[in-house]
Structure 1
């Protein structure tokens, strides 16, 4: 890919994604990018739109507590191409089960917190 006016610097990507430049560099060092991020003649990183979309997807996986090792496994499958579609789907389905269980636990915890708030509100308001 050639460097174009549409490519973004690491600071622009950090601002757009809410990540730090350190995290973006880490994702690259950890092998989580689909391919090496392009470099300008100054050797500064230049991210394409596809790179940014991939970083956003990685961020979503991390926000659901997917371990870096599991993310790396997923990335390796993507790099291998369409022959790994089933394996990628299965990996994401397994992760979805974990996320759904975490969500259920959080929902139950929120219900307990709401219950306590309602009790304290009744005591405070004298209702």
Structure 2
């Protein structure tokens, strides 16, 4: 039995709407993941034909939601699921997968720092112009050239 913020769930009783809330994945993403085989075909309620997620699917999709929230690619999520299903110890390969994704996030964070610096300098430039502070405007203009070069790399 899976436990979520919605309480204890019995097998086959989670709708796609609830699964979206639980996992943070949209309904269309859940359908897409099922279509491409990232998640197994989901059983349907016989009377309505609506998808009904069981406890094992809920736990697995919650994990996929976390991985997707990190920006992990579908290919890497597929690798993760494959490695988790292997009988042999896959700790080294899983570590490599997560280290590679950590490096990707680190690079994204650095790009965000560069973007932030550029925006902050532009705000300083306009504040200096607004206040008639030519000295600060000249200094910031020089810093902006360096920030621009970093931004365009």
Query: 1:55: which partner in 2?
Result: 61
* Cα deviation digits, residues 73-112 of structure 1 (max 9, x gap): 1111112256222211111111111111111111121111
Give the direction of change, closer, same or farther, for the CA distance of 1:115–1:60 in structure 2 (3 Å limit): farther
CA distance in 2, matches of 1:117, 1:49: 51
Alpha-carbon RMSD across the aligned residues, in angstroms, is: 2.9
Take 2:129 and 2:62, find their aligned partners in 1: how far apart are those partners?
45
Q: 1:107 maps to which residue?
A: 113
For the residue of structure 2 that corresponds to 1:83, the secondary structure is: coil
Contact 2:24 2:65 in 1 (8 A): no
Aligned counterpart, 1:120? 126
- Seen in structure 2, the aligned counterparts of structure 1 residues 126 and 53 have a Cα distance that, compared at 3 Å, is farther
How far the C-alpha of 1:68 sits from its partner, in A, is 1.6
Give the match for residue 95 of structure 2.
89
How many pairs were matched up? Answer: 125
Please, what TM-score do these two structures have when normalized by structure 1? 0.74
1:68 to 44, 57, 74: 74
- Report the Cα distance in structure 1 between the residues aligned to 2:117 and 2:22, rounded to whole angstroms: 34
Alignment partner of 1:41 out of 39, 46, 50 = 46
TM-score normalised by the chain length of structure 2: 0.64
Q: Structure 2: any 5+ residue segments left out of the alignment?
A: 2-8, 134-153
Describe the SS at the equivalent of 2:10. coil
